[in-house]
Amino acid sequence: MRAFHASLAAERRYCILALVVAVGVSLLCGCSSHPRAGEEGAPGPNEVWLEHHAFMPASMTVPVGTTVIWINKDRTIHNVTSGVRWTPDGIFASGSLWPNGKFGYTFKKPGTFPYYCTIHSHMEGTIVAQ
C-alpha cells in the first residue's frame, strides 16, 4: 500500500512537471509569435517591408549615411524604384525583388526621396534623409 501511494505521489509530481513544461512552452511560443522589431511580424530599424502590396512603413526619416533595407515579404515580385509614379529618377532601382528578396541603398545626401514599385504603381513610399 505504501509503495502504491509513493508511486502515485511520484506520478502526480510528473504531472505537475509536465504541466509546468507545457505552460512554459506555450508562453515561449506566444512570445515568439508576438511582433517585435527586426523579427517576424514587424520591420526592424531602417527596414522597409514590401507587404500586402504596400511599403511598410510608407515613409521613413533617417540620418544621412543610413542604409535602408527593403525586404519583399509578399509572394509576388516587386521592385523599389526611386522617383514618382511612371517617372523613375535613376537614383536607385532594385530590379525584380523575388519573395524574401532584399535591396539596400545608402542615403549619402540629405533630401526627400520618393520611390515606388513599377509593377504596382500604387505602391509608393518616401525616405527622408537629414
Nearer to Cu ion, 51 or 128 (CB): 51
Q: Contact residues for Cu ion (CB under 5 A)? A: 78, 117, 119-120, 123
Nearer to Cu ion, 73 or 120 (CB): 120
Nearer to Cu ion, 71 or 123 (CB): 123
Query: Least Å distance between CB 115 and Cu ion?
Result: 11
Q: Which three cell numbers stand for residue 118?
A: 513599377
Query: Least Å distance between CB 60 and Cu ion?
Result: 18
Query: Least Å distance between CB 98 and Cu ion?
Result: 12
Query: What helix, strand, coil percent values describe the chain, rounded to 5?
Result: 25, 40, 35
Nearer to Cu ion, 66 or 84 (CB): 84
Query: Least Å distance between CB 77 and Cu ion?
Result: 7
b/e per residue, 48-70, with b = 16+ CB within 10 A?
A: bbbeeebbeeeebebeeebebbb
b/e per residue, 83-103, with b = 16+ CB within 10 A?
A: beeeebeeebbbeebeeebeb
